[in-house]
């Protein structure tokens, strides 16, 4: 938040998704000024729904403005907003190059069938920009931006697929790193929560990226193979069964969400 104010933004909407009875909000509220609107959610809506809710509030307060969406664990470097604004156009979304705890990335490329990713294009892959930080033109700064079926992880891949296939928005990437992102601080990398959300995201993406019923079945089969291999490798490395339990939990969650039996996110498996 402070890095945004230091860069001279007109205002900030903080959507508090922590669901910790206001503890996090009380810490934040002690340091906010009139440019900040803090909204405490009654429950954790997840990243996608939280961002959409914040955009709705932003448009109510600053109608027709451009929006900079950014993770709570990401910070702008000095001059970042200026560097992004140079690339801004009415039909362009600006994606800053992000330093993900030493992994510096602009575009990533995701394989549609199996879901593995690379920094470079390769056959069967499509480009997407990290949802950790994006500068949106006014026309794109309106909810829903992200698919709220995704609680955490996968929403930026789905958004990348949508923009790539529809050609609605041009995605521009800055020349150098402009944002620092503390990876995994919200999800606890390697935890049951993390493993569940990764598996759920992959299973949901198999549906969102499909081009028809047969294609969807094939995508689920390919993602299933990838997830089984991933769980086996991560279980050996961690010497526990959390990846396997997370795989089963995530697929169960994704199926329940797809059938409309539960709301989105972590509450689906509680």
pLDDT in tens, 236-263: 999 999 999 999 999 999 999 988 876 6
95-134 tens-digit pLDDT: 999 999 899 999 999 999 999 999 999 999 999 999 999 9
78-100 tens-digit pLDDT: 999 999 999 999 999 999 999 99
**What separation in angstroms does the CA of 63 have from each of 58, 60, 66, 88, 171?**
7, 6, 9, 18, 23
Residue by residue, DSSP assigns 83-133 as HHHHH--TTEEEEEEEEETTEEESEEEEETTT--EESS--TTEEEEE-TTE
pLDDT at 268 over 70: no
Round to whole Å and give the CA distance between 27 and 215.
Answer: 48
**Phi and psi angles of residue 150, each rounded to the nearest 5 degrees, phi first:** -90, 125
State the distance between the two ends of the chain, measured CA to CA, in whole angstroms. Answer: 31
pLDDT at 145 over 80: yes
Average pLDDT, integer, range 138-146: 93
Task: Determine the pLDDT at residue 185.
Answer: 57
212-238 tens-digit pLDDT: 999 999 999 999 999 999 999 999 999
- 253 DSSP 8-state letter: H
CB 256 within 8 A of CB 268: yes
- The pLDDT-based confidence of 44 (bands split at 50, 70, 90) is confident
- The pLDDT-based confidence of 266 (bands split at 50, 70, 90) is very low
Round to whole Å and give the CA distance between 260 and 122.
Answer: 35
pLDDT at 32 over 90: no
């Amino acid at each position: 938040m402070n890095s945004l104010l230091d860069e001279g933004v007109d205002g900030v909407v903080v959507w508090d998704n922590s669901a910790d009875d206001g503890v996090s909000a009380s810490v934040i509220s002690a340091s906010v000024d009139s440019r900040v609107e803090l909204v405490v959610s009654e429950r954790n809506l997840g990243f996608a729904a939280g961002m959409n809710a914040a955009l709705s509030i932003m448009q109510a307060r600053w109608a027709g403005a451009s929006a900079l969406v950014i993770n709570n664990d990401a910070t702008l470097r000095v001059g970042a907003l200026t560097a992004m604004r140079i690339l801004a156009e009415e039909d362009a979304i600006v994606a800053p190059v992000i330093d993900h705890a030493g992994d510096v990335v602009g575009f990533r490329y995701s394989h549609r069938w199996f879901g593995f990713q690379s920094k470079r294009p390769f056959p069967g892959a499509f480009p997407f920009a990290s949802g950790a930080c994006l500068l949106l033109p006014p026309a794109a700064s309106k909810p829903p931006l992200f698919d709220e079926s995704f609680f955490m992880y996968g929403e930026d891949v789905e958004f990348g697929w949508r923009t790539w296939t529809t050609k609605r928005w041009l995605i521009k990437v800055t020349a150098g790193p402009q944002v620092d992102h503390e990876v995994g601080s919200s999800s606890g990398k390697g935890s049951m929560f993390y493993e569940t959300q990764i598996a759920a995201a992959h299973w949901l993406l198999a549906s969102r990226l499909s081009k028809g019923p047969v294609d969807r079945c094939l995508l689920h089969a390919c993602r299933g193979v990838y997830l089984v291999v991933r769980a086996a490798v991560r279980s050996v490395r961690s010497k526990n069964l959390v990846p396997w339990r997370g795989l089963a939990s995530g697929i169960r969650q994704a199926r329940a969400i797809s059938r409309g039996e539960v709301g989105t996110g972590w509450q689906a498996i509680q």
